[in-house]
Amino acid sequence: MNEPRKLEVLRAIVEDYVHYREPVGSKALVERHRLGVSSATIRNDMAALEDEGLIVAPHTSAGRVPTDKGYRVFVDQLAAVRPLSSAEKHAIQSLLEGADDLDDVLERTVRLLSHLTNQVAVVQYPQLGRARVRHVEAVGLAPRQVLLVLIADSGTVEQRVVTLGEDLDHDRLAVLRQSFLAATAGKPVSQVGANVAATMDSLLPEDRPVAAELAAGLAALAAASREERIVTAGTAYLARSNSDFLLSISPVLEALEEQVVLLRLLSEMASDARGVAVAIGHETAADSLAETSVVATGYGRDDAKIGILGPTRMDYPATMAAVRAVARYLSKILAGS
């Protein structure tokens, strides 16, 4: 068996199946690709590929389709991820640079990535394990209501309204705000609660009860900012790919909605030398995602994940390129925010 030719035949089968959405036969391969051998030789190569579990006949026709293992060999044989075109790069940069805040940036990002790949795009909010406090704000809304705002250097903004047990005038609130800001600015978000608590002894005794209520609110904001969250876009593309799923797409939709399975998978995926990670079919280790593939990579300082989810029949080279390119632009924007 000619190993390079066998891999070339596998590549041709994958590309044709992705493009035409139908089982691929030896005659079609000879007609569409310059493989330099006869149909009989191609049939022998296909038989060898089938024996190795890389392709399979979905029914009694002469055509074959790639298996999860076949897709894996195909992806691993890609020497590098091709760069996007200049037009694609300009479109990414123009759209993402117009965003106002982190929420807007991530919403634009998933819509863009979904549009580029025609798949479901997912982006994980930055984890704040290493993030530091950029600013703390406290705005009086009413005598007993204060809006607390916590801004991290990752761009994350958390806010909540705290109802106090006593009235708090503007001057007292300003003193407490300055005290909290001095104690937390530039410090890790994970230490907000402890740093604010350490300021209590320096406050006037009559301010300590209300300060403790505000401190508890800030600590809750810090905890909320560390919760894992995902933004998605393009779920409608799954419905359009319904024929690619032998079973129902309902488990996939449920996994997207519940997020737990997807969060676990993303946290376990590590990018390879090409800058992306690919989990194909049963490699996702989740029954609900067994007929899907996930292409992901890290972005930003804390290496949160961004990627796409779709049927295993996908254009892997183009998808990997899009995911990597969007992640790089996203990282640049967040670094400059």
Q: Which domains does the chain have, with CATH numbers?
A: 3-77 (1.10.10.10), 86-127+228-335 (3.30.450.40), 133-225 (3.30.390.10)
How far is the C-alpha of 288 from the C-alpha of 274, rounded, in Å? 27
The region of weakest confidence among 7-21, 62-76, 129-143 is 129-143
The torsion region of residue 118 among left (phi > 0), alpha (psi -120 to 50) and beta comes to left
Write out the E strands in the chain. 55-56, 65-66, 120-124, 133-142, 145-152, 157-163, 230-233, 277-280, 292-299, 304-311
273-309 pLDDT, tens per residue?
A: 888 999 999 999 999 999 999 999 999 876 789 999 9
Q: Which two tokens stand for residue 43?
A: 């049939």
Q: What is the DSSP string of 209-259?
A: HHHHHHHHHHHHHHHHHTS--EEEE-THHHHHTGGG-SS-SHHHHHHHHH-
Whole-number Å distance between alpha carbons of 284 and 326: 23
Q: Under 8 Å CB-to-CB from 2, ≥6 apart: which residues? A: 45
Q: Which residue shows structure tokens 């508890």? A: 216
The pLDDT value recorded for residue 60 is 64
Residue-averaged pLDDT of the chain: 88
Q: CA-CA distance, 53 to 210, in Å (whole number)? A: 68
Summarize pLDDT for 203-245 with one digit per residue, the tens. Answer: 888 989 999 999 999 888 887 766 678 899 999 988 887 778 8
Q: What is the pLDDT of residue 337?
A: 54
Most confident option among 17-31, 76-90, 215-229: 17-31
Torsion of CA 317, 318, 319, 321, to 10 degrees: 90
Q: What is the pLDDT of residue 1?
A: 44
- Cβ(185)–Cβ(133) under 8 Å? yes
**Spatial separation of the C-alpha atoms in residues 121 and 231, rounded to whole Å:** 8
pLDDT above 70 covers what percent of the chain?
Answer: 95
* DSSP letters for 223-236: HHHTS--EEEE-TH
What is the share, in percent, of the chain residues with pLDDT greater than 90?
A: 49
- Structure confidence at residue 51 (pLDDT): 95
CA end-to-end distance (rounded Å), the chain: 55
pTM as predicted: 0.76
